């Protein structure tokens, strides 16, 4: 087993399985976090907390899945409602107008806007997990992170839509193992590679709650 973890031929497979287990467990605590906030009040803090846990592992500062998640969740319970909760609710507004205008050219335009909005929104939790920002500044940074590499963002959005659709129709039992942690992890990883967030990396870098800086 030590060979697997230190450089043996199966190291990459071991890391892949380790991440698969971590992300599956993260989906469970994310769902518990959503329920703990009575769904609407828990969706934003649970999503930001999940991104913060992923970020901690990606930058080499791993936190315990259970206690780390709930520490971030409690710190984000109020502040994330504006920074992420309102943007999430906006998705339903867009969906409503897209469905209402689906038989007109306006519906196509709204659909394109909706896809672009979702492609941007998926990066927001990772940005909030990386640096402490106001709601307005968080969106400005997220726009830069998402569209400084548009191909990666579009590929993530398309891949997420296709994967969720495939799972729902063909393997619905697999949905709890893949959503939302997998697209969230990919978006957080892409954010870490963005030059605009480079200053927050590493020891002492900015985090969503400041927990990392307080030790």
pLDDT digits (tens, 9 = 90+) for 114-125: 888 988 999 999
Return the higher-pLDDT residue of 133 and 213: 133
- The residue range of the domain holding 24 is 2-214
Backbone phi and psi for residue 63, each to the nearest 5 degrees, phi listed first: -120, 155
Count of the separate structural domains present in the chain? 1
Which of 80-84, 94-98, 156-160, 169-173 is the most confident on average?
A: 80-84
List pLDDT tens digits, range 66-89. Answer: 999 999 999 999 999 999 999 999
Q: Which of 108, 110, 51, 49 is nearest to 79 (CA)?
A: 49
What local confidence, expressed as pLDDT, does residue 7 receive?
A: 56
What local confidence, expressed as pLDDT, does residue 39 receive?
A: 95
What local confidence, expressed as pLDDT, does residue 72 receive?
A: 96
What local confidence, expressed as pLDDT, does residue 136 receive?
A: 92
Least confident of 1-15, 27-41, 105-119: 1-15
Query: Among the residues of the chain, which ranges form H helices?
Result: 2-6, 11-36, 43-58, 65-76, 80, 86-100, 105-121, 124-130, 135-147, 150-170, 175-178, 181-192, 211-214
Element (H or E) spanning 96, and its range? helix 86-100
Q: Residue 211: pLDDT above 50?
A: no
133: left (phi over 0), alpha (psi -120 to 50) or beta: beta
């Amino acid at each position: 087993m030590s060979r697997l973890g230190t450089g043996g031929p199966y190291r990459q497979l071991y890391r892949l399985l380790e991440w698969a287990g971590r992300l599956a467990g993260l989906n469970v605590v994310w769902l518990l976090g959503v329920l703990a906030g009575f769904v609407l009040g828990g969706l934003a803090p649970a999503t930001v907390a999940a991104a913060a846990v992923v970020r901690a592992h990606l930058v080499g500062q791993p936190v315990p899945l259970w206690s780390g998640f709930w520490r971030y969740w409690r710190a984000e319970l109020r502040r994330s409602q504006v920074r992420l909760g309102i943007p999430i609710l906006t998705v339903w507004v867009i969906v409503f107008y897209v469905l209402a205008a689906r038989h007109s050219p306006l519906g196509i335009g709204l659909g394109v806007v909706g896809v672009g909005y979702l492609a941007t929104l998926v990066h927001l939790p990772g940005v909030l997990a990386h640096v402490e920002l106001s709601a307005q500044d968080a969106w400005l940074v997220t726009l830069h992170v998402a569209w400084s590499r548009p191909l990666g963002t579009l590929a993530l959005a398309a891949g997420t839509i296709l994967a969720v659709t495939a799972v729902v129709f063909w393997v619905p039992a697999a949905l709890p193992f893949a959503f939302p942690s997998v697209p969230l992890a990919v978006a957080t990883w892409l954010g870490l590679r963005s030059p605009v967030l480079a200053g927050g990396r590493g020891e002492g870098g900015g985090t969503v709650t400041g927990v990392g800086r307080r030790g």
